[in-house]
Chains A and B, each alone.
Chain A
């Protein structure tokens, strides 16, 4: 992009304009229903990034939300003791605007669809997360979902007790984004419900499934935890309201 040139990007309700001036790269974003007019508003408040180069590469990449996402299932998932399930969830994607030769300078990240906030914890401590009410499916659909990331989730119930999962928090900052023909995918999250106690172990599986074609890495995970994060991110108190034991 040279001085005087501009770019326009639209993702669901999100509209982003990027323009190059002699010394800066300017960005303006807004939310509105899709419109034919792709010109920036005359009173746009541009965010300026200093860039002395004559030519600048600009990219719009998919990004994970800036907070973990709590899935609240409309239909709770029943997992008998000693079994497991794998399901797929469509995570509303964010758009990362990047510049530079290596696309390493971020001008900002913006949501395509807005999710509402909820509180994971109690009145004294906890953390802010997004809440989504997903419709899960058990085979990845072949349709194209341009504003979503397919997130595979596996829950293994290693205990002898049946589980009824009504809520589940996904640490999206631990997931990478891959491009697979028509859709973006995240790597798999594995939740293992403990044998002897009610503890939950969480692992991020780096390998992508082999039977769905070629996967190209688009965005590395923001956090690089690959092993179990049980002790770091989860504690039994948080899990009490996440997993509910049936047969009561």
Chain B
């Protein structure tokens, strides 16, 4: 086998070998340059997601053609080689079902397009920005700067959330007020706070829902809307404003209280002040 390989190499004309090598190097350089160019142009015209996929497709096909042409120039029987490669490919495919499954899932995802590059997605406890969409997996950069690789198969099988799919988002604020408070007054004040926050959208309108008689508070749900870009900013601004206005208006935000009740027959529990100076 070794001898035949050496024989084959010695038979190759050095000029042809040089030509093939130049063709290979130049071809690879041009392919990657073309890939970058296509990515830039397609991203500008359509989206970064489509740009990335198109450029990858062009690069893979071009590299395959270059390698086939390179081998053909050297005198390899390409059709036989491709046949062998096909058989080997099937064998490898059976052996690596997970990878094949990921590739097929990737193709489905490309067709379905449930997210694009730079979208924020949340899957199985990992929330982050999509930084790469590949044949086998997608890559996320989480907000604490971790690199998370998620296999495409998992994306097909598991429900996931695309947080930034739509241009506007609702901010849900759960607020508890003391039982003594006037709910109408609290509701009016909350709506006024939303109106005064410039980045909080007037439409869809903010809404206050009386959610529950809680264990230590009247629980309200306060829904406001913002653009997806301003979500964190508006949430912080609203929380700050609610605390500030409630303090200003004397509206109590209670924390859990425990009242120890010993029954109607028994006497109240005695309270003894131990150190008067402490009060």
| Interface of chain B, main secondary structure | loop
- Chain B residue numbers with a CB within 8 Å of A123 are 166, 168, 204
B121 to chain A, nearest CB (A): 18
Cα–Cα, bound, A125→B197 (Å): 23
Q: Are A128 and B227 in contact (CB under 8 A)?
A: yes
- The A/B interface has a contact count, at CB < 8 Å, of 35
Q: Are B167 and A117 in contact (CB under 8 A)?
A: no
Q: Are A119 and B204 in contact (CB under 8 A)?
A: yes
Cα–Cα, bound, A152→B204 (Å): 28
Q: Are B202 and A116 in contact (CB under 8 A)?
A: yes
A70 to chain B, nearest CB (A): 9
Cα–Cα, bound, A118→B204 (Å): 8
Interface size class of B (residues with CB under 8 A): 10 to 19
A201 at the interface (CB under 8 A from B): no
Of B167, B195, B199, the residue contacting A126 (CB under 8 A) is: B167
- Chain A residue numbers with a CB within 8 Å of B167 are 121, 124-126
A115 at the interface (CB under 8 A from B): yes
Q: Are B195 and A119 in contact (CB under 8 A)?
A: no
A114 at the interface (CB under 8 A from B): yes
Interface string of B198-220 (1 = CB under 8 A from A): 11111110000000000000000
Interface string of A130-150 (1 = CB under 8 A from B): 010000000000000000000
Of A114, A117, A125, A126, the residue contacting B200 (CB under 8 A) is: A117
Interface string of B154-198 (1 = CB under 8 A from A): 000000000000111000000000000000000000000001011
Taking beta carbons and an 8 Å cutoff, which residues of B are in contact with A?
166-168, 195, 197-204, 225-227
User: Top 8 A-B pairs ranked by shortest CB distance?
Assistant: A118-B202, A118-B203, A116-B198, A131-B202, A119-B201, A114-B198, A119-B203, A117-B201
